[in-house]
Every structure is written in C-alpha cells, then in structure tokens.
Structure 1
C-alpha cells in the first residue's frame, strides 16, 4: 500500500457564501480534481413550486490533493475559496469510502417532493392558519388540495402552496 504522503487524498475546502460552483470551476481550471455533491430539492420560490439543484453541504466542497506533488498555495487565493478546513493547523484527509458512498447514494436518488401525499402539513397563513391537515395533492404549480378536519368533518380545501409547511 502506498504511503499516505505519496498518494492523492480527499480534503475539505470551505467556500465563500454561495460560491461553491465558482470555487469548483476555478479549482478545476488549475487542474485540481474536485467534488461538490449536489442534490435535487423542491422548494417554493416567489409563491411557485420549483425544482432546483443545491449543494448537499452548503459552503463546502471536496478536493483531491497529493501532499508531495500538488501546489497547495494557489488554493488559498482561488476565487470562491475561503480556506482549507484544518484540525490543529493540519488538513485532515477525508476517507475515499466517504466520497464513494456519497457519489453512489446521490446517483441513486430522485428528487424528493416538497409535500408527500398523505403527509401532515400545517397551514401557515390565511383563515386556516395554524391548523393541521393532510396533504392530498398538488393542484397546478401554485396550489394544493389538503384534507382539513373542521367541525368533526373532513373537508377538501384548495390553498396556495406557499401557505403550507411540512409537519414531520
């Protein structure tokens, strides 16, 4: 087995706020292998349901470096990079198995919906504020149908998606 100082290992980089993609691009331009795991999420933005990709670990990315052959000094001044994550002033290697597991798990995932059918939700505003309900289904891009119990009866109500939050 190769000595740890002669083979490349994964390390953690802290990026400037919301600049993971910029840091990764600039590090790749310097020929550093990088990995910034992204996952797909469904969110409500400006009252509409959107599916976006966002970093799994906001503000961080992994970089593959060799202690002997790579020039680490250029990393510190790379646009988007804040610093190398260290413990006791020493960069700590991340096990290859962790990176492999992350890649495998993210390759096998579909985007998770914002609300699951049959899931519990709470109404956050409007006439039904603070009432718990059951999410039935999305009714277009901006509305949802929920099952709300009022006066000992269940009622299907149409509400804007931005007025709901998941209760887990």
Structure 2
C-alpha cells in the first residue's frame, strides 16, 4: 500500500476537531451540528451571575469560542455551513485533528470533576502579582519543570529575582496609559 493510499484511509475515519466560533455562539452551533447528525462535545460549567438585582445560574462553555466535533474531514463543509462558525482549528490553513483519545479523557475527567475556565498565562507574558508578600510587583512569566515562575526585575538596581508562585496569585498586567502615568507621552 502506498503512502497516498494510507492517507486516503485515514481521511475516511472520523476524528475530533475543534471548531472556532463567533463569541457566544457555541451552544447554537453545537445544537445545529447535532441536528445535522454529527457528534459534538461542548463542555459546560455552572456560573452564578448577578443581573438586574437578581442572581442567575448559567451554563457557560468551558472553552469559550470552541465546539468539538467528530467528523470525517470530508464532512467539513457541513460544519462550516453554519454562519457562526469561523473555521476548523489547524495549522497553515489545514484542519488538524485532536490527538486520539484526548476528548474521551476530557469527557471522563469532567464527568467526575467540576472545572471552570482559568486565565491562560503564556511564557513571556507580563503579569502583576495580586496577593501574597509580592503583591503589586510586575514581571514576566517563565516556566520550568511545569511550575509557574515569575521573573521580577528591579530596574533601579538592575537586578532580577525568580519567584515560584501559584497562577491564582497573578493577573495579566495591562499597559500603563496616560491616565495612569501623566508624565509619560504614550502607553508603555
């Protein structure tokens, strides 16, 4: 069997793909795809919100902006036909299947454990420490051995330290603006 033949065989097997959606369209897209007979997975979490002096319980997407769908790649046009779908997630314009078993593992974990979204801190991002002894310090994230580490630079003395910390103690830092620092001429 040639390499081209094996590729054709794998194209005929269904795989899980991530569908990138317009904001707040995840549920309608998942419903639409199910009505088309496609298998979807949209993990939700319960969130309590206060609106107009009342408390509301909502089921929100665990991964905002994404719906997972199991299709044979030749069925992508059925998925892309919904006006709220932007594209299938991939590289260089080619849809990329999620690793085998990853969605099933996610389903089994979420059937037992509660989860909710959390800020994704990427290495190199500027963050501000929000609690603990280093509260209000700013620095850049580095990761080593799976632990979040923060480099805090003390520019006045041209020194830096590395702190190991929990991601819950930090938030993404926003750039200073003229309102924050009137002595500067532009956002830093």
Smaller-chain TM-score bracket: 0.5 to 0.7
Give the whole-Å Cα distance in 2 for the aligned partners of 1:47 and 1:97.
44
Q: TM-score, normalized by length of structure 2?
A: 0.51
Which residue matches 1:20?
Answer: 26
Q: How many residues align?
A: 112
Change (3 A) 1:94 1:111: closer
Q: TM-score, normalized by length of structure 1?
A: 0.57
Which residue matches 2:47?
Answer: 41
Which residue matches 1:32?
Answer: 38
Give the whole-Å Cα distance in 2 for the aligned partners of 1:73 and 1:49.
40
Give the whole-Å Cα distance in 1 for the aligned partners of 2:56 and 2:38.
33
Correspondence for 1:51 among 53, 57, 60: 57
Task: Give structure 2 stretches of 5+ with no counterpart.
Answer: 1-8, 117-130, 132-167, 170-188
User: 1 or 2, which has the higher helix percentage?
Assistant: 2
RMSD of aligned alpha carbons: 2.7
Change (3 A) 1:108 1:77: same
**Greater relative contact order structure (CA < 8 Å, 6+ sep):** 1
Correspondence for 2:84 among 80, 84, 89: 80
